[in-house]
Amino acid sequence: MEPPESITLDAAEKIILRWDSTASEETTDRMIFDGDRREVDQYLQAVDEIQRSMSAATISDGDRKGNSTIQIAMARLEDEFRSILISNTSPLETDSLIDSSFSTHSSSINVHSGEFEEYPEDERVLRQVGESPKAGESSSRASASYRSTNSIRELDLIPAEAIDNLRCIAERMISAGYHHECVQVYGSVRKSAVDSSFRRLGVENLSIGDIQRLEWDVLEVKIRRWIRAAKVCVRILFASEKKLCEQIFKGLDTATDNACFIETVKGPAIQLFKFAEAISISRRTPEKLFKMLDLHDALLDLLPDIDAVFESESSESIRIQAAEILSRLAEAARGILSEFENAVLSEPSKVPVPGGTIHPLTRYVMNYINLISDYKQTLNELIVSKPSTGSRYSGDQTMPDMDFAEFEGRTPLALHLIWIIVILQFNVEGKSKCYRDNSLAHLFIMNNLHYIVQKAKGSQELREIIGDDYLKKLTWKYQQAATSYQRTTWVRVLYCLRDEGLHVSGSFSSGVSKSALRERFKAFNAMFEEVHRTQAMWHVPDSQLREELRISITEKLLPAYRSFLGRFRSHIESGRHPENYIKYSAEDLETAVLDFFEGYPVSQHLRRRSQ
Amino acid sequence: MPSTENQGSSSPFMSFGRSILSIRREQVHSMEANHDPNTQESEIELFLQLISKRFHDLSVVSADELLSLAWMRKLLDAFICCHEEFRVILLNNKVQVCKPPLERLVAEFFDRCLKALDICNATRDGIEKIRQWEKQLEIVLSAMDSRQRTMGEGQFRRARKALMDLAIAMLDEKETGSIFSHRNRSFGRHQSSKDQRHHLPGHSRSLSWSVSRSWSAAKQLQSIANNLVPPRGNDISATNGLAVPVFAMSYVLMFVLWALVAAIPCQDRGLQIHCSVPRHFSWGAPFILLQERIMEESKKRERRNSSGLLKEINQMERCASHMTDLVDSIHFPLTDELKTEAGQQVQEVTLLCEALKNGLDPLERQVREVFRKIMNGRTEGLEFLGSVNKPE
């Protein structure tokens, strides 16, 4: 509002001198802008008058006085500016800013059990101020992908009236050539404010060394928090600071506008990105893949907004740094995948898993690639080259290899996943050789390949990536293993029940050699008992597979035994102690087979056939 | 004074350095005379010569150029150059590098590299601080710019205010630099205006963005220097001599960081680190010289409490001090003598600000480049070292 009367130079000077900060205590006890609006207008008018007279006057020594007065005014205005800023600066109400579109589940892989775990985030799912919540992200396991639809949202950090006042002051300071001081004051107050907001958002100030020393599961939590905080920092906090600078300095001097913004946010931006940078250079071990990808995706999502907020030339280093971090995270992801493949190939444990059951490595790898398939959207973009190991590279024929021609037209990611299964298979086969018992070795292979197929079929994405053809191959392989197992174990057992060698033709009688027959029965019983005792301890975890295997055994065993019994029992029963030889009925055997592959020991005594 | 290119002619150290170099080189040659030259040997030899040459050039500069912005950039340049060569050596000798004992030595080098990254980051903060001081000086210049109008009382007052703020800011840095106690600068609605008046403009002066509050440059340097000892004879022979370049590069790394921390304001700076100077290596001579010269600089009376040994910081302190004296002695009407003196000082400050404006950005970019190179080299190296090393 324009004051009604114009003001004389003398009066103006008096007003300025009255409010001289350095002159008396009285005038510094209160701020002009805290008081009466008329006093404010009067003061501003006085400043304008002094400036006007100085620019109108010719350069002469007599102007010294005005020169001095303007300095007093500027010093005062600087204090006023600071005061208004400080009293209107409060840290961001961060609670209300946490977006509701964050997913509510997070996936992680437990290195020890090989199982992957899902656990709910302890997010506060709140609405944005005044807005309806955005549609939640699909919270399938693909929730770990943070491609969200958030965008820049500028808040009014300072009420409009205060902005007007600040602008009034800035205008005058800048036109008097005091823009340096203005920027200084602005920067120092706002930097503190950003620092406070950072603390509220949980943005920590850790050194790279600190971060490297932390355990990964601690870091995972920090990464999640960082992603949340970074979105708020870039899209709301920094964007709002930029807006504030524009509101105060717009049209006055573009250099000042930008200088204030950079002054305020450069340090905080560096601090913010430092964390992501430190993560991108941490040691590449497999369990880190998924959180790294989360971080990568979050940063990728933020990049356009970073570029928008830091568009000026002087903030180029921040944009460059963000882009660098992104590419380093991508490199890290690629490196981790490569590390993983090497680890699977060279996993050296030679201790055979008891009972021939599923090896922890198999579980871990299948769960791992399951999670990878969840991230396929990102990984398809990051993984661009085919797997580069194998016998075709090392010339080592004992290494596995894969014929890429078979997989024409697949994405590099698909090739990598298939390759991982190939080397897993290779490794499993290698481990099977540690079993002294060949049967067990075959069972082991059967179990593990079956698990691979089941896991692959269980996930739509994984199944698509690997392809049914390959799965058919694997299926055939484990069926083969099952057959090999049966052959290895049962051929010699059933050999006891063969016809040849039992018939004797001789001078005294043509018929069956009773002694040979007795030996046969004894041998069969002993073998069967041994097989029973041993293989009850073996384990086929999959119930369907277990059933099928048992059925297959009984289908071969029972008819052979029944037939043998049928033909030869009379010979035994006509001799002494038949119960020593015909210990079991067919039903007994059938029952006994039910004990197989349960993984528990059984009592040594089978139910004798009831006489 | 703005730094000029090294003329190289008048330094008494140069011939001294050269003669030591030639003596030492002969000694080394006699040590290595028994070996047949092969690629690996010459590669190592070349590398050590490179270090020797680059740092010799740095060590023989004039007193004016030592620790100036331009010199710092040359220092970092030399580092990047040596680091690149070292990288190539590692890549060329991958098989050997992955075997003990070299593997352990190289892993230790990468550990040191990791620690170096924080120092690079802290240096960026320091450069930012110097920028802040330079901006204060610009206010002084703006005030004293006699082209605009005749110098009046107001302008001198403005200059004095800016100089006071600058002095406080630089003092503040010394305090936080050595004690790292965070002065509690609270702000809020309930502050009385009286407090506000006494409030210094540097609210955020003690905010450090690149390193945590408890981080200490001196401690970080010391941890890099720990166990940095020349390789033993059997290590050298077990590694075909490769243990020597690993040690040399580690030493160069530590030295360059030490010089950076000495020059640039850093949180909890300290110049005393315990590390044995490689006296019996010929390439060690320039470092001995440089260390002496830098320590000497730090002991000068006026620099003892400086927040950084950078030449331009010294110049800022001196200019500020002279300017303050001038401004304090001002009385009107201005004598011609005072006018001339003021003009001269303004000229000095203008040149200094120019040098700072032109020099700080490139220095920061280069620190960042050093950061990048160290980081990339480490990532690359760790990859081919493989999973043999224990996780950090």
Strand partners, A117: A108
Chain B residues inside the 8 Å CB shell of A29: 192-194
* CB contacts, 8 Å: B391 with chain A: 283, 285
Token code pair at residue B246: 């690993």
User: b/e for B323-333, b at 16 or more Cβ within 10 A?
Assistant: bbebbeebeee
Give the pLDDT score at A507. Answer: 55
Among the listed residues A511, A531, A593, A505, the one whose alpha carbon sits nearest the alpha carbon of residue A556:
A593
Q: Are B309 and B297 in contact (CB under 8 A)?
A: yes
Q: What are the φ/ψ torsions at residue A138 (nearest 5 degrees)?
A: -60, 120
Name the H helices within B205-269: 217-225, 233-238, 243-263
Per-residue pLDDT tens listing for chain B (392 residues): 433 434 434 443 333 333 333 334 444 444 443 333 467 778 899 999 999 999 999 999 999 999 999 999 999 999 999 999 999 999 988 888 888 889 999 999 999 999 999 999 999 999 999 999 999 999 999 888 766 556 778 888 899 999 999 998 888 777 655 433 333 333 322 333 333 333 444 444 456 777 888 889 999 999 999 989 898 888 888 888 899 999 999 999 999 999 999 999 988 887 777 676 778 888 999 999 999 999 899 888 777 778 899 999 999 999 999 999 988 888 777 788 888 888 899 999 999 999 999 999 999 999 999 999 999 999 999 888 874 433 33
pLDDT greater than 70 at residue A38: yes
- Which residue has better confidence, A347 or B202? A347
Most B CBs within 10 Å: which of A181, A219, A270, as the mutation test of the B interface?
A: A181
Interchain contact A314–B (C-beta under 8 A): no
Q: Do B154 and A21 touch (CB under 8 A)?
A: no
- Closest residue by Cα to residue B221 from B80, B118, B298, B83: B118
Q: Give yes or no for a contact between A441 and A432, defined as CB atoms under 8 angstroms apart.
A: yes
Test B212 with A188 for CB contact under 8 angstroms. no
**Residue of higher predicted confidence among A406 and A531:** A531
Interface mutation target, options B204, B206, B380, chain A, most CBs of A under 10 Å = B204
**Does A354 sit behind a cis peptide bond, omega within 30 degrees of 0 on the bond before it?**
no
How would you class B112 by CB atoms within 10 Å of its CB: exposed for 0-12, middle for 13-18, buried for 19 or more?
buried
**Quick check: B210 and A274 CB within 8 A?**
yes
Q: Tokens at residue B83, please?
A: 């680091």
- CA geometry: angle A322, A184, B215, nearest 5 deg: 55
- Beta-bridge partners for A511: A504
Provide, as residue numbers in chain B, all residues whose Cβ is less than 8 Å from the Cβ of A330: none
Structure tokens at B131: 């920028």
> For residue B267, with 0-12 CB atoms within 10 Å meaning exposed, 13-18 middle and 19 or more buried, which class applies?
buried
Residues of A with CB below 8 A from B387's CB? 339, 342-343
Q: Measured between beta carbons, which residues in chain B are less than 8 angstroms from residue A67?
A: 149-150, 152-155
Which residue in B has a C-alpha nearest to residue A325's C-alpha?
B372
Q: What is the mean pLDDT of residues A80-84?
A: 92
CA distance A266 to chain B (A): 9
| Chain B residues closer than 8 Å to A271 by CB | 209-210
Burial class of A503 by CB neighbour count within 10 A (0 to 12, 13 to 18, 19+):
exposed
Tokens 């160069």, residue? B252
CA–CA separation, B73 and B80 (whole Å): 10
Residue carrying the six token digits 């739509």: A460
Nearest-angstrom CA–CA distance, A448 and A435: 14
* Cβ–Cβ under 8 Å, residues B234 and B94: no
Contacts for A288 with CB less than 8 Å, ≥ 6 apart? A216, A282, A332, A336
Residue B3 domain-assigned (yes or no): no
Return the residue of B nearest to A77 by Cα: B197
Range name among A269-283, A475-489, B317-331 with the lowest pLDDT average:
B317-331
Please name the residues in contact with A244: beta carbons below 8 A apart, sequence gap of 6 or more: A157, A158, A163, A190
Identify which of B208, B220, B391 has the shortest CB distance to residue A285. Answer: B391
Tell me how long chain A is: 611
- The set of residues, in sequence order, having a beta carbon less than 8 Å from that of B304 and lying 6+ positions away, is B298
CA–CA separation, A248 and A171 (whole Å): 9
CB A20 within 8 A of CB A145: no
Residues of B in contact with A260 (CB under 8 A): none
Which residue from B212, B368, B375 is facing A205, i.e. has the nearest CB?
B212
Q: Do A189 and B207 touch (CB under 8 A)?
A: no
B33 lies in some domain: yes
Q: Are the CB atoms for A45 and A5 separated by under 8 Å?
A: no
Nearest to A164 by CA among A41, A345, A278, A73: A41
Looking at the domain assignment, is residue B9 inside a domain?
Answer: no
Using an 8 Å CB-CB cutoff, list chain A residues near B201. 82, 184-185, 188
Measured CA distances, A98 to A91, A94, A150, A220, A233 (Å):
15, 7, 11, 19, 11
Kindly give, in sequence order, each residue whose CB lies less than 8 Å from that of residue B14, ignoring residues fewer than 6 positions away: B8, B60
Strand spans (E) along A404-471: none
Whether residue B185 is contained in a domain is answered as: no
Q: Which of A395, A396, A393 is nearest to A404 (CA)?
A: A393
Collapse the DSSP code of B7 into the 3-class scheme (helix H, G, I; strand E, B; otherwise coil) and give the result. coil
Give the closest-approach CA distance of B199 to chain A in angstroms: 10
* B 35-74: CB under 8 A from A: none
Using the Cβ of B25 and the Cβ atoms of chain A, whether some distance falls under 8 Å is answered with no
- How far, in Å, CA of A27 to CA of A21, rounded? 7
The answer to whether residue B218 is domain-embedded is yes
Measured N-to-C along each axis, helices A514-536 and A468-495 cross at an angle, to the nearest 10 degrees, of 140
Query: What is the per-residue pLDDT for B11?
Result: 40
**Set of chain A residues whose Cβ sits within 8 Å of the Cβ of B115:** 209
The predicted structure's pLDDT at residue A394: 64
**Closest residue of chain A to B192, computed from CA coordinates:** A29
Rounded to whole angstroms, how far apart are CA atoms A428 and A434? 10
Is residue B188 included in any domain, yes or no? no
Q: How far apart are CA B161 and CA B163, in angstroms?
A: 5
Could you tell me if residue B1 is inside a domain? no
* Those residues with Cβ within 8 angstroms of residue B287's Cβ, 6 or more apart along the chain or in another chain: B55, B59, B251, B255, B277, B278
pLDDT for the residue A23: 73
> Which chain A residue lies closest to B193 (C-alpha atoms)?
A29
Nearest to B122 by CA among B265, B224, B270, B310: B265
**pLDDT tens digits for range A210-249:** 999 999 999 999 999 999 999 999 999 999 999 999 999 9
Å from B193 to nearest chain A CA? 6
ipTM attached to this prediction? 0.80
* Residues B81, B54 contacting (CB under 8 angstroms): yes
Contact: A61, B333; criterion CB under 8 Å: yes
- The distance of A277 to chain B (nearest Cα, Å) reads 10
What does the pLDDT read at residue B276? 67
Residues of A in contact with B388 (CB under 8 A): none
Query: Range of B288's domain?
Result: 14-180+193-389
Task: Report helix, strand or coil for B242.
Answer: coil
Rounded Cα distance between B65 and B88, Å, is 31
Average pLDDT, chain A: 83
Q: Residues 523-552, chain A: which have Cβ within 8 Å of B?
A: none
Structure token digits, residue B313: 């910081």
A51 Cβ contact list (under 8 Å, min separation 6): A70, A172, A175, A176
Cα(A272)–Cα(A235) distance, integer angstroms? 13
3-state percent helix, strand, coil for chain B, nearest multiple of 5: 70, 0, 30
The yes-or-no verdict on residue A104 having pLDDT over 50 is: no
Length of chain B: 392
Judging by DSSP bridges, how do beta strands A105-109 and A503-505 pair with one another? unpaired
Q: In Å, how far is B362's CA from the nearest CA of chain A?
A: 12
Torsion of CA A502, A506, A509, A515, to 10 degrees: -40
Q: Name every chain B residue with its beta carbon within 8 A of the beta carbon of A193.
A: 187
B340-379 residues touching A, CB cutoff 8 A: 364-365, 368, 372, 375, 378-379
Report how far apart, in Å, the C-alpha atoms of A560 and of each of A485, A503, B187 are.
Answer: 18, 17, 94
The pLDDT, as a whole number, for residue A290 is: 94
CA B84 – CA B75 distance, rounded (Å) = 14
Cα B361 → chain centroid: 14
- CA pair distance B14, B57, nearest whole angstrom: 9
Distance CA B185, CA A364 (A): 52
The pLDDT value given to residue B119: 95
Q: Is the peptide bond before B333 cis (omega within 30 degrees of 0)?
A: yes
Residue found under tokens 């290590």: B235
Contacts of A319 in chain B (CB under 8 A): none
List of chain B residues whose C-beta atoms are within 8 Å of the C-beta of residue A207: 118, 121, 211-212, 215
CB contact under 8 A, B185 and A192: yes
CB contact under 8 A, A71 and B158: yes
- Quote the number of domains for chain B: 1
Q: Are A106 and A118 in contact (CB under 8 A)?
A: yes
Residue of B nearest to A22 (CA): B197
pLDDT at A118 over 50: no
User: For the packed helices A64-87 and A37-56, what is the interaxial angle rounded to 10 degrees?
Assistant: 140
In this complex, the residue of B157, B161, B194 whose CB is nearest that of residue A28 is B194
Residue B2 sits at φ, ψ, to 5 deg, of -60, 140
